[in-house]
């Protein structure tokens, strides 16, 4: 089985034509995990037996001549912030060690309903707080292209698992770039849908006005199939919206002729890696050669995006994380009084980054500071949304680097939170505005993958995926897999 060539449509063909059985497909992925994950540490848990049992169910369907569903037999990995019934879910935090959810997140239920098979739960930054994967309480994930470097975060394990051939697809979550940035760092495709596109029922919340469940795959086509399966309104999540679901069938015929692509000057800035800038500009030239019209645009409030984000996100996180107090679930540390039980449990259970964000968010929301920080940020948020709305009057999509640099070395930014936060500078604006964004691989700098980000108007995923699929064909990068460990 050649992992680099495996895609959702080739799996469907292979299973239907009995080139391989579903058990063989799943076993091959489990063997790949066995071979490389000791080095990469993408998985917190592998659900081997359940996966093989489900594979046998799919094989029986094939033997009985039943029609296969869109994702029948497709191996998927699930970020450990999405709850899975009967399978421990930790959010990569010690405070949830041993927690076994009694229900399954809607996005995961929908993958199951489409026939996908879960291989296991993936590592991430604790409570999805981080841009490197190093903030996991269970140890960092490594970048499969260079194991001395970070895979990005917070969906670190999901990106690394897909990049290294351990899974075909993975679910991640994106609050400020946590799907797109690791996708860029690992050389895979990462989709952050429009806010409200995918149900967040069963997602362990980070920042509720920003969080969205996203998809990581090795091709745009695969991402479209997975997104189709998980999209749509859900009565269990009042923020999910009833909008037509993107159709993967639209992708194959797409091209870039007549597509207007905006290049925002604020995303090509001093301080970013010049080689990354050159590569993303060359990507724009490739799009133009394929028939797109590239237009210089301005998103004037971009430089305030990160500041808005680092008020709103910790503020919302501090309220969401108030529920972890050692009483109803999770770690409890005994102490003399109830108050001290709370303090001791939270102190022992949370790592440094959640503590920092809880403190920051509580400070920003506390009496006397609310207007100066939170209310101010919510106003600038409006201006950032307006920037995008104005831009999308003249362009179909915006092209920008996913990150200002290539994957950094493990340990380089851990001691300096603000520098770590700057890794999200080009991804947070899409979350602030609620718009969809896709990171696609656009080439290599010094042997390390670089991602190009396409952003579109609210609910434009189908159009954006069509543009991304045409862009992927125009770039025609060779399909290959790293061989770590």
Partner 1 sequence: MATIDLTEVRRVMQLCRLGLTNEEQRRMQEQLSKIVSYVEKLNAVPTGDVAETHQVTDQANVTRADDVQMQPPDVVAGLLTNVPEREGRAISVKTVLTK
CA distances from 12 to 20, 267, 383, 466 (A): 10, 39, 45, 21
192 is an interface residue for partner 1 by CB under 8 A: no
| Of residues 232 and 475, the one with the C-beta less far from partner 1 | 232
Residue among 2, 17, 328, 393 that touches partner 1 (CB under 8 A): 328
| Of residues 3 and 369, the one with the C-beta less far from partner 1 | 369
99 is an interface residue for partner 1 by CB under 8 A: yes
360 is an interface residue for partner 1 by CB under 8 A: yes
Task: Report whether 186 contacts 147 (CB < 8 A).
Answer: no
> How does strand 189-192 pair with strand 169-173?
unpaired
213 is an interface residue for partner 1 by CB under 8 A: no
| Of residues 145 and 195, the one with the C-beta less far from partner 1 | 195
Q: What is the three-class DSSP state of 411?
A: coil
The distance of Cα 239 from the centroid of its chain, to the nearest Å, equals 19
Maximum separation of any 2 CA atoms in the chain, in Å: 71
340 is an interface residue for partner 1 by CB under 8 A: yes
Which residue carries 């970048």 as its tokens? Answer: 143
| Of residues 321 and 469, the one with the C-beta less far from partner 1 | 321
Catalytic residue list contains 79: yes
Q: Which of residues 28-57 bind partner 1 (CB under 8 A)?
A: none
Q: Which of 61, 79, 121, 192 is catalytic?
A: 79
Smallest distance, partner 1 to C-beta of residue 368, A: 11
244 is an interface residue for partner 1 by CB under 8 A: no
160: exposed, middle or buried (Cβ count in 10 Å: 0-12, 13-18, 19+): buried
What does the block give as tokens for 388?
Answer: 């995008």
377 is an interface residue for partner 1 by CB under 8 A: yes
Catalytic residue list contains 439: no
Q: What DSSP character marks residue 181?
A: H
Q: Stretches 21-29, 65-73, 276-284, 318-326: which one binds partner 1 (CB under 8 A)?
A: 318-326
Task: Report whether 440 contacts 473 (CB < 8 A).
Answer: no
Q: Which of residues 108-137 bind partner 1 (CB under 8 A)?
A: none
Task: Report whether 440 contacts 476 (CB < 8 A).
Answer: no
Residue among 48, 363, 412, 473 that touches partner 1 (CB under 8 A): 363
User: What's the length of the chain?
Assistant: 485
Nearest CA among 175, 264, 241, 259 for reference residue 211: 175
Please tell me the distance from the alpha carbon of residue 294 to that of residue 274, in angstroms, as a whole number.
Answer: 20
Which residue carries 């292979």 as its tokens? Answer: 14
94 is an interface residue for partner 1 by CB under 8 A: no
Please tell me the distance from the alpha carbon of residue 92 to that of residue 116, in angstroms, as a whole number.
Answer: 23
Q: What DSSP character marks residue 114?
A: T
Cβ density class 450-474: b for 16+ within 10 Å, e for less: bbbbbbbbbbbbbbbbbbbbbbbeb
Q: Stretches 4-12, 173-181, 267-275, 340-348: which one binds partner 1 (CB under 8 A)?
A: 340-348
Please tell me the distance from the alpha carbon of residue 388 to that of residue 301, in angstroms, as a whole number.
Answer: 10
385 is an interface residue for partner 1 by CB under 8 A: yes
Residue among 9, 278, 281, 376 that touches partner 1 (CB under 8 A): 376
Please tell me the distance from the alpha carbon of residue 181 to that of residue 187, in angstroms, as a whole number.
Answer: 10
Q: Is the dihedral of CA 203, 124, 183, 109 positive or negative?
A: negative
Residue among 260, 329, 414, 479 that touches partner 1 (CB under 8 A): 329
Q: What is the three-class DSSP state of 179?
A: coil
What stretches of 290-441 show up as alpha helix (H) in DSSP? 305-320, 338-349, 352-365, 376-391, 417-421, 428-433
| Of residues 156 and 320, the one with the C-beta less far from partner 1 | 320
Smallest distance, partner 1 to C-beta of residue 252, A: 30
292 is an interface residue for partner 1 by CB under 8 A: no
Smallest distance, partner 1 to C-beta of residue 323, A: 11
Residue among 31, 113, 238, 289 that touches partner 1 (CB under 8 A): 238
Residue among 39, 53, 252, 382 that touches partner 1 (CB under 8 A): 382
**How many residues in the shown chain lie near partner 1 by CB under 8 A?**
70
Catalytic residue list contains 254: no
For the window 63-82, what string marks contact with partner 1 as x by the rule CB under 8 A?
--------------------
317 is an interface residue for partner 1 by CB under 8 A: no
Q: Which residues bind partner 1 (CB under 8 A)?
A: 85, 99-103, 194-196, 209, 235, 238-239, 241, 301, 303-304, 306-308, 310-311, 318, 322, 325-332, 335-344, 346-347, 350, 355-356, 358-360, 362-363, 366, 373, 375-383, 385, 417-418, 421, 433-434, 458
Point out the residues that are catalytic: 79, 154, 178
């Amino acid at each position: 089985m050649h992992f680099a060539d495996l895609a959702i449509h080739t799996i469907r063909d292979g299973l239907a034509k009995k080139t391989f059985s579903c058990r063989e497909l799943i076993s091959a992925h489990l063997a790949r995990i066995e071979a490389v994950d000791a080095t990469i540490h993408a998985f917190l848990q592998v659900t081997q037996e359940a996966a093989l049992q489900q594979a046998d169910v799919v094989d029986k369907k094939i033997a009985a001549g039943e029609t296969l569903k869109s994702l029948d037999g497709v191996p998927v990995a699930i970020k450990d912030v999405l709850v899975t019934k009967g399978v421990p879910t930790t959010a990569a935090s010690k405070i949830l060690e041993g927690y076994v959810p009694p229900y399954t997140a809607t996005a995961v239920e929908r993958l199951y309903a489409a026939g996908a098979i879960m291989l296991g739960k993936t590592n991430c930054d604790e409570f999805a707080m981080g841009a490197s994967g190093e903030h996991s309480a269970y140890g960092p994930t490594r970048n499969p292209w260079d194991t001395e470097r970070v895979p990005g975060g917070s969906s670190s394990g999901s990106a690394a698992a897909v990049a290294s051939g351990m899974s075909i697809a993975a679910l991640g979550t994106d609050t400020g770039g946590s799907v797109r940035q690791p996708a860029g760092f690992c050389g895979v495709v990462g989709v952050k849908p429009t806010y409200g596109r995918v149900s967040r029922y069963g997602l362990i919340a980070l920042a509720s006005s920003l969080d969205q469940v996203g998809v990581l795959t090795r091709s745009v086509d695969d991402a479209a199939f997975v997104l189709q399966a998980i999209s749509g309104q859900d009565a269990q999540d009042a923020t999910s919206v009833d909008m037509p679901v993107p159709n993967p069938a639209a992708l194959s015929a797409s091209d870039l002729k007549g597509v207007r692509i905006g290049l925002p000057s604020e995303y090509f800035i001093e301080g970013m890696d010049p080689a990354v800038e050159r590569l993303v500009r060359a990507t724009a030239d490739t799009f133009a050669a394929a028939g797109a019209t590239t237009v210089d645009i301005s998103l004037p409030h971009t430089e305030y995006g990160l500041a808005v984000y680092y008020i709103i996100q910790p503020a919302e996180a501090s309220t969401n994380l108030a529920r972890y107090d050692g009483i109803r679930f999770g770690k409890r540390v005994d102490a003399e009084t109830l108050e001290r039980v709370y303090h001791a449990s939270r102190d022992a259970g949370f790592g440094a980054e959640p503590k920092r964000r809880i403190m920051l968010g509580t400070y920003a929301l506390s009496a006397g500071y609310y207007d100066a920080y939170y209310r101010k940020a919510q106003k600038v948020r409006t201006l950032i949304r307006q920037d995008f709305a104005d831009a999308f009057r003249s362009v179909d999509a915006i092209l920008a680097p996913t990150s200002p640099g290539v994957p950094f070395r493990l340990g380089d930014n851990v001691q300096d939170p603000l520098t770590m936060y700057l890794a999200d500078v080009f991804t947070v604006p899409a979350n602030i505005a609620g718009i969809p964004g896709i990171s696609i691989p656009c080439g290599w700098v010094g042997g390390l993958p670089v991602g190009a980000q396409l952003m579109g108007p609210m609910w434009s995923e189908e159009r954006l995926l069509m543009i991304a699929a045409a862009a992927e064909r125009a770039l025609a990068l060779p399909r290959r897999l790293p061989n770590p460990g």
